[in-house]
Structure 1
Amino acid sequence: MSAPSPETDRTDLPAESDGFVRGLSQAIGGPIGEHAARPEARTDRFWTPQRIVLALVCLTLAFSWVQKSPCQDGDWQKNIQYTRYCYTDVLALYYAEGLNEGKVPYRDHPVEYPVATGYFMGALGLPVHALGERYPQINQGRWFYNANALVLSILAVASAAMLLALRRPRPWDAAIFALSPILLVTATVNWDFLAIGLAMFGLYAWARRWPLVAGLLLGLGGAAKLWPLFILGPLLVLALRSRRVQAFLLALGGAVFAWLATNLPVAILYRTSWTRFFELNETRPIDWGTLWYIGRYLDGKWNTDGDRGPFQWLSDHIPTLNALTLVLTIVACLAIGLLCLLAPRRPRLAQLAFLVVAAFLIFSKVWSQQYVLWLLPLIVLARPRWGAIIAWTVAEIGYFAAFYAELLGAGGKPVIPEGTFVLASSLRLITVAVLCGLVVREIWRPELDVVRRTYDDDPDGGVIDGAPDAAWVASLRRFFHVTPAAGSSSPASPTPAAVGGS
């Protein structure tokens, strides 16, 4: 991993490096003074920044368990799962997928998720069912939820540990993850932390220059939820720019092997069950809160003469919508790839990974509430600035509340106007787009990147970290009439970062 710059190898303090936190610190006397005892000066204390962050993660997850507790018995009378904001797919699908009857995923019942998630469900659900058969007095749903909550929480803590390992001189960056209300309300809504944990381990393995292990972990993550495979795209472009294609090919081979080894047994033995996930994604209509949902609502408002707008037309032509979302996502990824090649300094892996996953969500026809967890660790690695992330978090929590109100209104008695839900959806979309814009700005102006203030190059880059650019990159920039800023083209020379900003 990239070594910290010699003059900045001490622990980063947000009150010094982050303008938003520095402003807040004025309420308690301002940033730490020059002669104060700093965290790295004490070697005998137990509560190091890393342990504080891990304790905060555990505390947030404990509150998350309490927040979901009204729903754990499965007695969802009077829409308690929505009025208490405690709905979780984990409990609902224990019954919907037949796990409460001892059905083996894919063999006895087609599961709507990729196979690694199905394996995970079965590995916890079947023992709970067997226990319930032996002790009929236990509430199987509660036991299943709690077993999943425990394992998913362990994966969340492990993800925080990976953030800390990737940012050793910047441990307080991981506090953005640890204290996030997003983590509080969505940690156990679904099984997303299985994929997140594997993806974070994969990024750490790549940073440690273990490309094959990184590929295996990303492939396993992609077998749980497809998005960890998207990280291979940024790895490819960075490898091309740095002439480290061999390492990328090792990662790609590991990812393909892991994905095939996980999927082939089910695909061969239970093909109909295996294809259900893909069929559902092909046929699903426009989902709540997406770009297309917002567009369909605006079409209805603007076309008062009875004409159908383009978004309304797309809602009735799902194959065309599928093709359009795919094309837009591919175009966005190509633009991100071109940005990577033309940037004055080679972008950091986390920056590109965040942009790719965010682009997928922005143009997707499905944006479930828990998908926000995909972005949380990536934005911490890509742009650990508290101000903009807090604004995004407020928008996400606002959407969370509006979404549950909309679900309550689906029973026939509206709770909030439809326009209010569309506004909340729009704010979520806009804040994610703003985060993308800020990341793009720091790629194009690397002197604004606070992570580069601490590290020489890219702490997540692995074999790419510190490598010189291929000669053809300069030719490509000349072709596009792009001239790098003075002193910004060498990955080995740190660039001073501005400390202000959000």
Structure 2
Amino acid sequence: MSRTTHASDSAASATRALLPLVPVGLLAALGAVLAYAWKAPCRFGGAWNDGTQQFLRFCYTDIYPLWWNEKLDQGLAPYFGHPVEYPVGIGGIMWVIQKLVWGLNEPGVWFFDITALVMAASLVAGVVIMVYLAGAQRRPWDAVWYALAPALILTAFINWDLLCGALSLGAFLAWARGRHVLTGVLLGLAVATKFYPLVFFGPLLLLALRTRKLNAFLWAAGGAVVTWVVVNLPFMLLAFEGWKRFYVFSSERGADWGSVWFFFQREQVPFLGDGERLDMLGIASFAVLCLGVAVLALAAPTRPRLMQLAFLVLAAFMVTNKVWSPQYVLWLVPFAVLARPNWKPLALWQVAECWYFFAIWLYLVAQQPGNEAFGIGDVTYYTAIWGRVVTIAIMAAFVVRDILRPEHDVIRQGGADDPTGGVFDGAPDRFVLRAPAAPQPAPDSA
């Protein structure tokens, strides 16, 4: 009887956790519609063809001009006919959509529309996956943060980031359910689409070391390597010069708008503003932050949750990267919510991201001769750069506090350990960095 009752209670709990699935999925669709409507002045008003108006109306996208920049308008195939500055996951989507819109009137507009539709589907899929992940933490409605985040509505259709987000979240759901090879397959596809999911192997490895669940990690890593090779190898063999463009472009790229390195270089800060040292400084600063995350993961009195470490390492990557585009906020939203679903720091961060979104376009307007009066200057723009850094640092500080003092972690209240951690959930510590215990005084013999 008790076993039947327990099964019934578990089924009821699972049903309650999935009740938000449809409404939150519909809210994600609403978020996509709002994001598309935000592009209306450009999509329907022609502002994309005006180098100033697309910034003043805040409706710029990378997708539309890439129809021409990547020679898709000439019928050239990505990588084979023209080198593409994106990984093959994005280049492949470009190629398919190019075939779909070829011969239509205004194919560049259609190219944007169909790409936006694919990204909208990716957003809905990512939000639905997040309902499952957040539902495991007994907070399924937290996925609304991803569906309707203000910065998401502003940036959703600037680039192809939402697809990578759905793949990454799918990988963590697979991990939570013990599907380690599938985790690797999805992460391999994610890395083949955008480079940043590579950092997620760090948290998986650290927790695998602490719990000695290395077999699970190795299956995931192996699946990722095989998948990435299978996807990339045809292009490497048949169109190597076009394929390598992304990696050459990434290595040669300088400090771009939005990054702290852009600020350091523009202000000629000694050492930090040295463009010759940019790659070294970026890699070294990221490595230092990763070392801190590693020590925290292996030395904290209570093992950190997987989502906490995923958020910390991704935040470290973004803050130290030499490129920090406005749409990169899409990378972090779901992991920030799953790591610490507290609305106050999340809302503060969203304000900072929204301010950056408007600031970057006004700053670019001011860089155009004769348009200085319509834009903003360096000092005002710098407030937007550092606003993102500071608000992300605040969220990270709270996550670290929750790791060191688990009683403050809302996910662990009620006795939960790591609901989305898969094999890590409830696993005992096997390898922990600890300072040697102080010797105890010998008892008196008297």
**Structure-1-length-normalised TM-score:** 0.81
Please tell me the residue identity of whatever aligns with 2:364: L
Matches within 5 A, 1:331-410: 331-410=288-367
1:50 aligned to 2:17? Answer: no
Asked if structure 1 preserves the Cα contact closer than 8 Å seen for 2:254 and 2:278, the reply is: no
Aligned with residue 424 of structure 1, among 381, 384, 387:
384
- TM-aligned CA deviation for residue 256 of structure 1: 0.5
Aligned with residue 68 of structure 1, among 25, 39, 43:
39
Structure 2: unaligned runs, 5 residues or longer: 1-5, 439-446
C-alpha distance 91-173 of structure 1, shift in aligned 2 (>3 A): same
Q: Which residue of 1 aligns with 2:425?
A: 465
Query: How far apart, in 1, do the equivalents of 2:436 and 2:32 lie?
Result: 51
1:108 aligned to 2:69? Answer: no
User: Equivalent residue of 1:310, what SS?
Assistant: coil
Query: How far apart, in 2, do the equivalents of 1:9 and 1:295 lie?
Result: 55
1:82 aligned to 2:39? Answer: no
> Per-residue CA shift, 1:396-424, capped at 9, x if unaligned?
00011110001111212322121000111
- TM-aligned CA deviation for residue 9 of structure 1: 11
> Per-residue CA shift, 1:43-94, capped at 9, x if unaligned?
9xxx943332222211121111111122226652362211111111111111
Please tell me the residue identity of whatever aligns with 1:167: A
User: Equivalent residue of 2:295, what SS?
Assistant: helix
Q: What count of residue pairs does the alignment treat as equivalent?
A: 425
Asked if structure 1 preserves the Cα contact closer than 8 Å seen for 2:307 and 2:335, the reply is: yes
Asked if structure 1 preserves the Cα contact closer than 8 Å seen for 2:168 and 2:187, the reply is: yes
The percent identity for this pair of structures is 41
Q: Which residue of 2 aligns with 1:167?
A: 134
Please tell me the residue identity of whatever aligns with 1:99: L
Matches within 5 A, 1:169-318: 169-299=138-268, 309-312=270-273, 314-315=274-275, 317=276
Q: Which residue of 1 aligns with 2:284?
A: 327
- TM-aligned CA deviation for residue 454 of structure 1: 5.4
Aligned-CA RMSD value: 2.4
Query: How far apart, in 1, do the equivalents of 2:175 and 2:289 lie?
Result: 24
Query: How far apart, in 1, do the equivalents of 2:111 and 2:321 lie?
Result: 31
- TM-aligned CA deviation for residue 295 of structure 1: 2.1
Aligned with residue 113 of structure 2, among 146, 154, 178:
146
Q: Which residue of 2 aligns with 1:135?
A: none
Structure 1: unaligned runs, 5 residues or longer: 12-38, 133-137, 301-308, 482-502
Query: How far apart, in 2, do the equivalents of 1:223 and 1:322 lie?
Result: 22
Please tell me the residue identity of whatever aligns with 1:217: L
Please tell me the residue identity of whatever aligns with 1:175: V
User: Equivalent residue of 2:364, what SS?
Assistant: helix
Query: How far apart, in 2, do the equivalents of 1:453 and 1:153 lie?
Result: 34
Asked if structure 2 preserves the Cα contact closer than 8 Å seen for 1:176 and 1:386, the reply is: no
Query: How far apart, in 1, do the equivalents of 2:266 and 2:76 lie?
Result: 41
Query: How far apart, in 1, do the equivalents of 2:300 and 2:35 lie?
Result: 41
Query: How far apart, in 2, do the equivalents of 1:178 and 1:454 lie?
Result: 27
Query: How far apart, in 2, do the equivalents of 1:8 and 1:274 lie?
Result: 49
User: Equivalent residue of 1:110, what SS?
Assistant: coil
Query: How far apart, in 1, do the equivalents of 2:31 and 2:154 lie?
Result: 9
**Structure-2-length-normalised TM-score:** 0.90
Runs of 4+ in structure 1 deviating by more than 6 angstroms, as ranges, are 7-11
- TM-aligned CA deviation for residue 322 of structure 1: 0.6
- TM-aligned CA deviation for residue 126 of structure 1: 2.3
Asked if structure 1 preserves the Cα contact closer than 8 Å seen for 2:24 and 2:147, the reply is: yes
User: Equivalent residue of 2:39, what SS?
Assistant: helix
Query: How far apart, in 2, do the equivalents of 1:48 and 1:249 lie?
Result: 35
Query: How far apart, in 2, do the equivalents of 1:104 and 1:267 lie?
Result: 15
C-alpha distance 409-465 of structure 1, shift in aligned 2 (>3 A): same
Asked if structure 2 preserves the Cα contact closer than 8 Å seen for 1:72 and 1:141, the reply is: no
> Per-residue CA shift, 1:132-161, capped at 9, x if unaligned?
2xxxxx221121111111111111011111
C-alpha distance 379-10 of structure 1, shift in aligned 2 (>3 A): farther
Please tell me the residue identity of whatever aligns with 2:75: G
> Per-residue CA shift, 1:440-462, capped at 9, x if unaligned?
11111111111112562112111
Asked if structure 1 preserves the Cα contact closer than 8 Å seen for 2:272 and 2:281, the reply is: no
